[in-house]
Amino acid sequence: MVKKENDALIEKMKKGEEVVWINPARIPFSEVGERLELGKEDIRDASERWKRFAPFLRKAFPETEPAEGIIESPLVEINHMKELLNREYAGGLKGRLFLKEDSHLAVAGSVKARGGIYEVLKHTEALALQNGILKENESYEKLAYENSRAFFGNYTIQVGSTGNLGLSIGIISAVIGYHVVVHMSADARQWKKDLLRSYGVDVREYEGDYGEAVKCGRALSDQDETSYFVDDENSRDLFLGYAVAGERLQKQLEERNLTVDDAHPLFVYLPCGVGGAPGGITFGLKQIFGDHVHCFFAEPVQAPCMLLGMATGLHQDIAVEDIGLSGNTSADGLAVGRPSGFVGRIMEPILSGEFTVCDDRLSDYMKALYQTEDVFIEPSACAAFQGPACLGRSEEFREYMEKNHLRDKMEHAVHIVWATGGSLVPEEVVKEYLGIE
């Protein structure tokens, strides 16, 4: 039965059609317990580390001064966009719709400011403590001083990226003082390479896709003892950096008197590439809200790697090319052919489902958001609107609501579209995207 259903799903995916998938392996959160290799303690540790670094971030990035060195994004209600979606897509969305503007996160202008920066900070802390650059209980502000920078110049950070991870790792590492090498896939936009080079980052370009850039970067890094490679596919640190978003969002919801409980479900829609960012955020949210939060990923129809990995159970052992898809998409941040197996396995018992979306629609959502709310987010980030746009039209979702007794609670639901990037996009590129002079 399940197998047959899967066959129909894969057939549609092969044709490049949009699909809605409900995860059949999800179980009540109270039963997940020990099944996951990471837990609440790990998130607390990450959260404490972010706090220790706040004095440094404040000093090194003056734009974080108002928030006292905490890198966090606004949560804004987008009622005009909700009306447009209901009018033009017949989504029948009930409840309130919000945008989580990671597109406007300090330093990196994308969700990668969570995971990418966190991993570099963790590595930096370890090096600094081991080498007496920092002593226990000393303020981390010291890391912004010239003698610390000179020390980190002896070390290299490398990463493979479709763009935004490279930007976040490149910028934070260069500011700390590291020698940085970013290995960019063919999908990466020119302006991202230019911006990195302006920070003195060594940007290497590859003809192939993301997988190839990662492979070359890792091989080079492994030859050098003083080099550290950020591994987007398997990194627990990246994942935990993202997961801290859960407690941050909880605080924002409380501040606005937005309740999340059995009668007030929370729906979160997250664009997915290799899986680390949406996976980490989902993990963080589930630890706090359990069964009251429903997390859905969104992927481009030509690069639905996480959906393919989860639906087949093959995870990193299957790639979108294996079912004849190209992997090409205007959502450069989501142009990933093979998912993280580490993330997929953690998502198995907790993810609610997935939506896939055509490139044309990404552009429509982008323009609609700009027109209704005067907010620009990049194409990848727009994938998340597929959830609220087609919720009400989807048979699969109707079943999900029945099964989870959600039908009469939707009036009181909060929906959050996770806007994963956009504020660093140069003005001329924004205009090109929006089709304006």
Tell me the C-alpha distance between 144 and 339, whole Å: 36
Tell me the C-alpha distance between 107 and 165, whole Å: 12
Instruction: Decide if residue 284 touches ligand PLP (CB under 6 A).
Output: no
Instruction: Decide if residue 308 touches ligand PLP (CB under 6 A).
Output: no
Q: Which of 91, 211, 241, 273 binds ligand PLP (CB under 6 A)?
A: 273
Residues 202-221 that bind ligand PLP (CB under 6 A): none
Residue 169 C-beta: closest distance to ligand PLP, Å: 12
Residue nearest to ligand PLP (CB): 273
**Of the listed pieces 86-94, 172-180, 363-371, 376-384, which binds ligand PLP according to CB under 6 A?**
376-384
**Of the listed pieces 33-41, 139-147, 201-209, 374-382, which binds ligand PLP according to CB under 6 A?**
374-382
Q: Which of 173, 221, 380, 394 binds ligand PLP (CB under 6 A)?
A: 380
Instruction: Decide if residue 276 touches ligand PLP (CB under 6 A).
Output: yes
Q: Which of 164, 302, 330, 386 binds ligand PLP (CB under 6 A)?
A: 164
Instruction: Decide if residue 277 touches ligand PLP (CB under 6 A).
Output: yes
User: Contacts with ligand PLP: how many residues (CB under 6 A)?
Assistant: 19
Residue 227 C-beta: closest distance to ligand PLP, Å: 22
Maximum pairwise Cα distance, the chain: 64
The dihedral over CA atoms of 389, 394, 398, 400, expressed in degrees to the nearest 10, equals -90
* DSSP conformational letter for 331: -
Tell me the C-alpha distance between 366 and 364, whole Å: 5
| Strand 75-77 versus strand 96-101 pairing type | antiparallel
Evaluated on CA atoms 56, 237, 27, 312, the torsion sign reads positive
Instruction: Decide if residue 43 touches ligand PLP (CB under 6 A).
Output: no
* CB 106, CB 63: distance < 8 Å: yes
Instruction: Decide if residue 196 touches ligand PLP (CB under 6 A).
Output: no
User: Is the Cβ of residue 13 or residue 111 nearer to ligand PLP in the bound state?
Assistant: 111
**Amino acid code (one letter) for 233:** E
User: Is the Cβ of residue 114 or residue 179 nearer to ligand PLP in the bound state?
Assistant: 114
Residue 272 C-beta: closest distance to ligand PLP, Å: 5
**Of the listed pieces 45-53, 276-284, 311-319, 387-395, which binds ligand PLP according to CB under 6 A?**
276-284
The dihedral over CA atoms of 397, 258, 282, 296, expressed in degrees to the nearest 10, equals 20
| CA 268 and chain centroid, separation | 12
User: Is the Cβ of residue 36 or residue 258 nearer to ligand PLP in the bound state?
Assistant: 36
User: Is the Cβ of residue 69 or residue 421 nearer to ligand PLP in the bound state?
Assistant: 421
Phi, psi of 65 (to 5 degrees): -55, -50
User: Is the Cβ of residue 276 or residue 392 nearer to ligand PLP in the bound state?
Assistant: 276
Q: Where are the alpha helices (H) located in 231-271, listed in sequence order?
A: 236-243, 245-255
Q: Which of 23, 64, 110, 330 binds ligand PLP (CB under 6 A)?
A: 110
User: Is the Cβ of residue 148 or residue 356 nearer to ligand PLP in the bound state?
Assistant: 356
Q: Which of 160, 217, 265, 275 binds ligand PLP (CB under 6 A)?
A: 275
Which run of H or of E encompasses 372?
Answer: helix 359-373
CB contact burial 213-239 (16+ within 10 A = b; e otherwise)? bbebbbebbeeeeebbbbbbbebbbbb
Tell me the C-alpha distance between 112 and 102, whole Å: 9
Residues 319-338 that bind ligand PLP (CB under 6 A): 333-334
Residue 273 C-beta: closest distance to ligand PLP, Å: 3
Instruction: Decide if residue 109 touches ligand PLP (CB under 6 A).
Output: no
Instruction: Decide if residue 304 touches ligand PLP (CB under 6 A).
Output: no
DSSP result, 207-242: SS-HHHHHHHHHHHHHT-TTEEEE-TTT-HHHHHHH
* CB 43, CB 329: distance < 8 Å: no
3-class DSSP state of 20? strand
User: Is the Cβ of residue 75 or residue 382 nearer to ligand PLP in the bound state?
Assistant: 382
**Of the listed pieces 105-113, 179-187, 195-203, 408-416, which binds ligand PLP according to CB under 6 A?**
105-113
Q: How many residues does the chain have?
A: 437
Q: Which of 274, 301, 318, 413 binds ligand PLP (CB under 6 A)?
A: 274
Tell me the C-alpha distance between 310 and 288, whole Å: 24
Q: Which residues are at the interface with ligand PLP (CB under 6 A)?
A: 110-112, 164, 271-278, 333-334, 378, 380-381, 420-421
